[in-house]
Amino acid sequence: MQPVTEKSSKTDREKFSRRSMLGLVGGMVAAPRLLAQPPNRMRPQAGDELVFDEGPLQGEVVRPGLLELNARPISAMARDPATGVVRNGSRLNRVMLTRIEAQRLTPRFQPNAADGIVAYSAVCTHTGCDVFNWDEDQLRMACPCHESQFDIYDGGRVVGGPAPRPLAMLPLEIVDDTVRVAGPFRGRVGFQQAF
Amino acid sequence: MLGFISRSFACAFASIFALWGLASAQDVPPYNPVTAERLLNPEADNWLMYRGTYDSHGYSALDQIDSGNVAELELVWSFTTGLREGHQAPPVVNDGYMYVTTPQNHVLALNAVTGELLWRYVRFLPDDLQQMHPTNRGVALYGERVYMATVDAYLVSLDALTGETIWEVPVEDYYNGYYMTLAPLAADGKIMVGVSGGEWGIRGFVSAYDAMTGEEVWKTYTIPAPGEPGSESWPGDSWQTGGVPVWITGSYDPELNLTYWGTGNGGPWTGDTRPGDNLYATSVIALDAATGELRAHHQYHWNDSWDWDEVSAPLLIDFEREGREISGLVHPGRNGYLWFLERGADSIGFVDAGPYVYQDVFTGIDPVTGRPEYDMSRKPGIDFEVDFCPSLWGGKDWPPAAFNPESRLLFIPANENACSTMAGEEVQYSPGRTFIGRGQSDNGGFFLREGAEHLGELQAWNVDTGEEVWTTTFASHNWGPVLATAGNLVFMGGTNDRYFRAFDASTGEILWRYPTSSGITGVPTAFAVDGRQYIAVQSGWGVDAQRQQNMIDMVRGTDFHVPQGGSVWVFALPE
């Protein structure tokens, strides 16, 4: 039988990374230097547009009319309208968007919605998986990893499974017929190591 | 060699270790280096690797604790890890030094007699990591080092005495869904690991690293590239994202210098997305320890559509069949069949196979090749929802079986009466996103067979007759790895009532049990120090044991709470 084997070789990226690491260690000893966070890794900023991150409209700016009531949430990323930079440098920036019946949203979360459109962090608070599943009967976002479920009508409250905290909510507003980020995430994005 | 980092400066900071406490030399003897010779023939007093020995028997020759006195077994010490989720690692012991790993990739070095913490390695994982399986299954020991495979896909080499990082190497990029949960295999001067990520569209592989330098020596994919043998079993580009992870430690035959690894299923889950046999998915593969060359394979079932990873490495057992001595491989499959194979330098032959739990998918097995035929009405596909048994967790998931070479009995931690409903749905590959393609089914796609009175089982099979000898049942599902000892005993937890149990190996009778603080999915081990035998295990419920509990609650309308939180437990007879 023939092998399915590759000879080992370090990729250029690994070689580069090793040099980077050596440089980093040296830097820590000599003079620590703050590294500016690249704009595509920054969390969504107030004033950012949103662009679809999947589906037939991928890459297009999110407009209110493109979101149907109680539809399966669709993933989106923020984009700096001034530079066009999509903040896709971290999966912690991903949100799930849908439109709900605005008057049914728990009142204290209503300031985060815009014309019934809500955005929740796509990252489960349990162990960090993407909350891509959707229970269309109960209108709940669900995690494929451990079946945590979140109530999109109640600020992402945990209604099933092991997740310890609600999904973070991203406040929205509508400006010039585009869905915009109104402020930073409300709540911690992602999961927290327990130790 | 300094560690090097694949992704970013942020990751470099994320992997800085912390030391908690230092070795106190007065209580533990000088460290006894783990030589290649010792790994080939470990002393009965020690438990130097995942299953104790390269043949994966999970067997201890210690017999101070036996079926006549085990009722007196008492707790010597326990130690809380401070972490939640699935604590599945064995307490690995080398002359009084104990090493355990935890979820989130901590390594604890403990005085095996007193439970005193010697040091603790804490891995600060990237905050954008996703963990479908927050667990780790233990260390490998070699020389004066401890090795761990991490959930952010690094292989880490630590100083066994201090816990200091000697090197760490990236095995793959976690951002694209690669991660590791298995205990590395130390053999032939190398440290070997396999990768998880079958639900993320990875291309699985096993890779080997020089134990001293961390340099990659070989890497063998579990899916052939176009033009390689077996590539015809994958259509189009499906080989690039076809999964086939390896997430349980391999067995090793030093005479053949072959390592035997079980492989996971192809992805997406339903096979109609990748028509063909999908080699080397759901197989055992024999890899040359020196070169990584794939020397032989046997595929347990083709074109998997049931999420039946066959990742448990086969036990190397020489058994009899009709008067013939066979150098064998024995594998209780997740597909519900118990497989007996014959191993050779360049071949894996089929001997026989049969169901050890209710299985309604296979309609027959080719007596020569072992290839199963399917009831196609029980093979899920895109928008084709079917019921099948056993469930996607199989007759036995990853918890390892054990073998007593004296009594010739194989002990299987099984689940009976649990079944699944599944349909496929279209899914597009995107790096770092789940690539499962399973549609929504009622009750989470889980059901119990009508009239089911129990779920969990511990089964004993005679490997020479191929007959089941006894079965002990549990109301709870069972996620308990098994330890067999020369004291005519079997140890196992695995149930949702938190008990750790000792069984009479001849009859299956429960002789002793102890309620730990959480459920046990950890691998039990046996060791001795200064003539006193100990039994060790971690408790810490989580991962799929918890997931299945959620499903059971859903179909029964119950809400059964199993407390989480890890602890190490060490038992012995009164002094």
Question: Phi and psi for A53 in degrees, rounded to 5?
Answer: -110, 5
Quote the domain boundaries for residue B117.
9-572
Q: Do B432 and A92 touch (CB under 8 A)?
A: no
Whether the Cβ atoms of residue B384 and residue B421 lie closer than 8 Å to each other? no
pLDDT of residue B284: 98
Look up tokens 């999970």; give the residue: B58
pLDDT above 90 (res A2)? no
| pLDDT for A31 beyond 60 | no
CA B480 to chain centre: 11
What is the nearest CA distance from A54 to chain B, expressed in angstroms? Answer: 9
- Answer yes or no: do A14 and B170 touch at CB < 8 A: yes
Beta carbons of A193 and B221 less than 8 Å apart: no
Q: What total of structural domains would you count in chain B?
A: 1
- CA B411 to centroid of chain Cα atoms: 15
- CA B97 to chain CA centroid, Å, is 23
Interface test with A, best of B4, B154, B239 (most A CBs within 10 A): B4
Q: What is the CA radius of gyration of chain B?
A: 22
What element of type H or E holds B338? Answer: strand B337-343
Beta carbons within 8 Å of B319's beta carbon, 6+ residues apart: B325, B326, B328, B330, B340, B408, B463, B464
Confidence category of residue A10, pLDDT binned at 50, 70, 90: very low
Catalytic residue among B152, B307, B504, B544: B307
Q: Do residues B182 and B135 make contact, with C-beta atoms less than 8 angstroms apart?
A: no
Say whether B530 is catalytic: no
Residue B548, domain member (yes or no): yes
Look at residue A20 and give its three-state secondary structure: helix
Question: What's the pLDDT at A33?
Answer: 52
* CA–CA gap between residue B390 and residue A101 (Å, rounded): 42
Give a yes or no: residue B1 inside a domain.
no
φ/ψ (deg, to 5) at B397? -85, -135
Residues B155-166 as b/e (b if ≥16 CB within 10 A, e otherwise) read bbbbbbbbbebb
Question: Looking at residue A36, what is its pLDDT?
Answer: 74
pTM equals 0.90
Supply the CATH number for residue B257's domain. Answer: 2.140.10.10
- CB A194 to CB B432 under 8 A? no
- The residue-averaged pLDDT of A3-23 equals 36
Mutate to test the interface with B, among A123, A127, A132 (most CBs of B within 10 A): A127
DSSP alpha helix (H) spans, B1-143? 9-14, 36-40
Nearest CA to CA, how far is A170 from chain B (Å)?
A: 18
With cut-offs at 50, 70 and 90, classify the pLDDT of residue A14: very low
Establish if B430 touches chain A: CB-CB under 8 angstroms.
Answer: yes
Q: Which helix (H) or strand (E) holds B130?
A: none
Walk along chain B (575 residues) in steps of 10 and give the mean pLDDT of each run: 34 39 58 98 98 98 98 98 96 98 98 97 92 96 98 98 97 96 98 98 98 98 98 98 98 98 98 98 98 98 98 98 97 98 98 98 98 98 98 98 98 98 96 92 93 97 98 98 98 98 98 98 98 98 95 93 96 97
What pLDDT does A35 receive?
64
Residue whose C-alpha is closest to residue B17's, from B185, B139, B150:
B150
Q: Is position B2 within any domain?
A: no
Closest approach of chain A CAs to the CA of B295, in angstroms?
6
Give CATH for domain A49-181. 2.102.10.10
Query: Cα B344 from chain centroid?
Result: 24
| Nearest CB to B434; choose among A3, A130, A191 | A130
For residue range A54-110, what is the model confidence (pLDDT) as tens digits? 889 999 999 999 999 999 999 999 999 999 999 999 999 999 999 999 999 999 999
Residue A94: C-alpha distances to residues A50, A121, A145, A194, B173 (Å): 10, 6, 17, 23, 19
Does residue B256 lie within any of the structural domains? yes
Stronger pLDDT, B71 or A29, i.e. the higher one: B71
Closest CB to A129: pick one of B124, B132, B297. Answer: B132
Confirm whether B4 is domain-assigned.
no
Best residue in B127, B200, B293 to probe A by mutation, most A CBs within 10 Å? Answer: B127
CA distance A56 to B428: 12
What tokens does B54 get?
């390269």
Q: One-letter amino acid identity for B569?
A: W
Residue B99 domain-assigned (yes or no): yes
For residues A14 and A21, the answer to whether their CB atoms sit within 8 Å is no
